[in-house]
Amino acid sequence: MATRNVKIVEVGPRDGLQNEATMISTEIKVELIERLVNAGLRNVESASFVSPRWVPQMGDASAVMRGITQQPDIVYSALVPNLKGFEAALEVGVKEIAIFSAASEAFCQKNTNCSIAESLNRFESIMQMAQANDVKVRGYVSTVLGCPYQGDVDVSAVVDVSKHLYQMGCYEISLGDTIGVGTAYKVKQLIEQVEKAVPMHNIGVHFHDSYAQALTNIYAALEMGVNVIDSSVAGLGGCPYAKGASGNVATEDVVYLLNGLGIESGVDLQELVGIGHWICDKLGKTNQSRVGQAMLQKS
């Protein structure tokens, strides 16, 4: 595995903070993003241009994007649900966006107030505008291994939505285990099928860790050939519209795993652990990264 290039997409500033009861100031969000970049993360999902009525925690997305002193060659992406959100993102110079749909109707409806087909329809105009403005688009498929409302989700539904987003022009499809219920065997079966519609190097995994399976599932995905991993510093994360969605897999834990496999991620683990403790302190919550906890005890 050592010769591989693995891309980590740090989603802490977006997925991590969107579900926090404590409102975090714009200044701290900006500091978090800049510190993550300084620690070596090259892809940071930094904000979300969703409706502030739906997710008030992300209501300062424009101010956050404006506040960042952007470094060259770093991707500061943002989540966008519709044209209104995309227009706001464009206004502050966002160069990469992520659109999101789901493999389960029930979740799509709760999360975005529309059906899967409607959500894909909505994205048509976003894709056109993205092309015209030279903006890259990443696509999320949520609830790929289970849904908080409908339970089991058919692999074929995941394949259909993934294929649609890819054919529409999303350069990467991130498979979201939104409520962290998946296990390694199911992950392998899922990727085997999705790969028939989306090339392996365009597939990413986005695993929440509710059942402590995320790292094992990532290893299974790596074995399958996946090279894109979403994670969140200190294991922050959760979706306000997915009951039972706890944090994402911690970036510290992913970096530790990659280091052990001899895969160079370019991330300074010590630095990252410090950031994890700092942001947890600001949020008044326990750090969910086991590596973060272990390294703190050692120091």
CB of 113 to Mg ion, least distance (A): 18
CB of 207 to Mg ion, least distance (A): 9
Q: Which of these ranges, 8-16, 84-92, 115-123, 267-275, lies near Mg ion under the rule CB under 5 A? A: 8-16
- Taking the least distance from each CB to ligand HMG, the nearer of 11 and 273 is 11
Per-residue CA distances from 259 to 201, 216, 277 (Å): 21, 15, 20
Which residues lie near ligand HMG (CB under 6 A)? 15, 18, 48-55, 81-82, 84-85, 100, 111-113, 140, 142, 176, 178, 206, 208, 239, 241
- Taking the least distance from each CB to ligand HMG, the nearer of 7 and 271 is 7
Determine the straight-line distance between the first and last CA of the chain, rounded to whole angstroms. 30
d(CA 77, CA 211): 28
CB of 15 to Mg ion, least distance (A): 4
Which member of 108, 147, 170, 239 is catalytic? 239
CB of 239 to ligand HMG, least distance (A): 4
- Taking the least distance from each CB to ligand HMG, the nearer of 178 and 265 is 178
d(CA 29, CA 60): 10
Active site residue 147: no
Residue 111 binds: one of Mg ion, ligand HMG, none (C-beta under 5 to 8 A by kind)? ligand HMG
Contact predicate 133/87, CB 8 Å: no
CB of 268 to ligand HMG, least distance (A): 25
Residue 116 binds: one of ligand HMG, Mg ion, none (C-beta under 5 to 8 A by kind)? none
- Tell me the chain's radius of gyration from C-alpha atoms: 17
What is the pairing mode between strands 43-48 and 75-79? parallel
- Taking the least distance from each CB to ligand HMG, the nearer of 49 and 256 is 49
CB of 103 to ligand HMG, least distance (A): 9
- Taking the least distance from each CB to ligand HMG, the nearer of 241 and 256 is 241
Count of chain residues binding Mg ion (CB under 5 A): 1
- Amino acid occupying residue 53: R
Residue 246 binds: one of ligand HMG, Mg ion, none (C-beta under 5 to 8 A by kind)? none
What is the pairing mode between strands 203-207 and 172-177? parallel
- Taking the least distance from each CB to Mg ion, the nearer of 209 and 295 is 209
Residue 15 interacting with Mg ion (CB under 5 A): yes
Q: Is residue 214 classed exposed, middle or buried when 0-12, 13-18 and 19+ CB atoms within 10 A define those classes?
A: buried
Residue 194 binds: one of ligand HMG, Mg ion, none (C-beta under 5 to 8 A by kind)? none
Binding site for Mg ion (CB under 5 A): 15
Catalytic residues: 239
